[in-house]
């Protein structure tokens, strides 16, 4: 089993940066791909980014590609989401999740993720 805890959210002005962290417990962390999703007020939760268990493959939603970078440090059981050039429309609760599935075709499928964190709020002011 994997437990996930997000941190690093906060309030930032448009154009600013934040780095989210997803810390995991469990010895099998390195066997899971990790995804980031976000849910804005009044909207459904949506895919943001994902990284394979090795870190060798990364995936991004079109809306964040070129601005966000996902990475992982398996020695620290942590996945990071570096968010640059933030926009007000990036405001949301950000969740990390773990899946044993691999491949880009499942990276954005929420139903494939077995474990979820509690979320961290990101607010971008204009």
Task: Give pLDDT tens digits for 22-32.
Answer: 999 987 888 89
Strand ranges (DSSP E) for 26-114?
33-39, 46-51, 58-60, 68-73, 78-83, 92-99
Encode pLDDT of 70-114 as tens digits: 999 999 999 999 999 999 999 999 999 999 988 888 899 999 999
């Amino acid at each position: 089993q994997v437990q996930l805890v997000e941190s690093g959210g906060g309030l930032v002005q448009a154009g600013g940066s934040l780095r989210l962290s997803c810390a995991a417990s469990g010895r099998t962390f390195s066997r899971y791909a990790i995804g980031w999703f976000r849910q804005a007020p009044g909207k459904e939760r949506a895919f943001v980014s994902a990284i394979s268990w090795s870190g060798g493959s990364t995936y991004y939603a079109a809306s964040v590609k070129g601005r966000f970078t996902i990475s992982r440090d398996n020695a620290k059981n942590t996945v990071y989401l570096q968010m640059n050039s933030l926009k007000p429309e990036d405001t949301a609760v950000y969740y990390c999740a773990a899946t044993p599935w691999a491949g880009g075709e499942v990276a954005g499928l929420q139903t494939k993720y077995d474990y979820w964190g509690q979320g961290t709020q990101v607010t971008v002011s204009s």
